[in-house]
Amino acid sequence: MNDGGGGDSDGTGVRGRSGGGDEGGDGGVLDALGGLDGIALRHLRGFLAVAEERSFTHAADRLRIGQPALTRTVRALETTLGARLLDRTTRRVELTDAGRRLHAELAPLLPRLAAALRPPTGRALLRLGFTSLLPAACTPLTAAFEAATGAGVRLVRRDSPLAGLETGESDVAVVRGEVPGDAGLRTALLLHEPRVAALPRTPLPAAGDSAAHRTPGPPPRPGGRGPAAARQAALRAVARRRVLDWAELADLPLVVNTVTGSTRPKLWPADRRPQPVCTAGNFDEWLEAVAAGHGVGVAPEPVAERHPHPGIRYVRLKNAPAVPVHLALPARDAHPLAERFLALAARP
């Protein structure tokens, strides 16, 4: 290990134009690099690692360099840019406003730059991102794309709202639910999927308001029922149902996947919405929370077919809004193969 060099074996510099740059311009922080000499890829990689790890120690381990060398690398970048990117304390590292802006631009850019500089081996690959479930419609679409372009498709699962698009880990992605208008994406609608309800096969017993299951708040009144007991009673009331109406879910405790799920309380009328009692950060957590009896879940119908669980019953939902499924890619500087993939999906 050579801490003296402070970084990667490549010393490729990001050389700028002869004129100066304006860091406050519309193009963002990266536009400022056009007039700055001496910035190398190792400076940008070092900053990006610290920004993501929020720790110089962990970032140095990730880059396999010494921590002092990484500290010097980041300080050199700050000096060249003339802006503090990180606030450091003895316990943590936080991004400044300038650091957040730079991170937002570097996160998707550097993986693509690394891929562009890698020596070509074999056929080109398109990275297709998804969260928990790839729609069946993607199988014939992928086959048509490979036949038309000669390129391959690599499937990339990421537990993030945009399935890796926001971090540059995917070139095109399957996004379920409504796509945020400010996400900077172009989309093509693939299909609509019906929703089903996921019920625990064995709701907690009537004594479920024990200390182990009680929600925060005042203890139940003598002779009355606590909130957890009331929720379990509501689940037991529908435990054997074969069909539920969408409106009925407003009276049931809801388990919500807040990161990659497509069902939120705002889908119900404002005056009658279900109460989220449990949240999950990915599909697997959501599945186990429902099976554990915390509440009812709502998912696209293919989940019932492809993710059976011994602790869950999937129930048909009446009058439920369908889940829109889109293909999405960045509105700017999208991968050329992603453009071809989206064009095939948009064909009638």
Express each pLDDT in 302-341 by its tens digit. 999 999 999 999 999 999 999 999 999 999 889 999 999 9
**pLDDT for res 260:** 92
pLDDT (tens digit per residue) in 72-85 = 999 999 998 888 99
pLDDT at 231 over 50: yes
**Which pLDDT band holds residue 67 (cuts at 50, 70, 90)?**
confident
Share of the chain above pLDDT 90, in %: 49
Q: Does the reported pTM lie above 0.75? A: no
DSSP letters spanning 98-161:
HHHHHHHHHHHHHHHHHHHHSPP-SS-EEEEEESS---TTHHHHHHHHHHHH--EEEEEE--ST
C-alpha separations of 144 from 151, 171, 326, 334 in Å: 11, 17, 18, 20
Higher pLDDT, 7 or 330: 330
Amino acid 195 reads: R
- Pair 130, 142: CB distance under 8 Å: no
| 56, containing H or E segment | helix 56-63
What tokens does 219 get?
């203890």
pLDDT at 217 over 50: no
pLDDT (tens digit per residue) in 251-280 = 999 999 999 999 999 999 999 999 899 999
C-alpha separations of 115 from 110, 111, 112, 163, 224 in Å: 9, 6, 5, 19, 63
Stretch 276-301: mean pLDDT, rounded?
A: 94
Q: Which range, of 210-214, 224-228, 260-264, averages the lowest pLDDT?
A: 210-214
Residues 6+ apart with CB under 8 A from 64: 1
DSSP letters spanning 189-248:
EEEEE-EEEEEESSPPPTT--STTTPPSSSPPPTTS--HHHHHHHHHHHTTT-SEEEGGG
Share of the chain above pLDDT 70, in %: 80
- Give the chain's length: 348
Strands 125-130 and 172-176: parallel
Q: Which of 259, 266, 251, 250 is CA-nearest to residue 286? A: 259
**Which pLDDT band holds residue 92 (cuts at 50, 70, 90)?**
confident
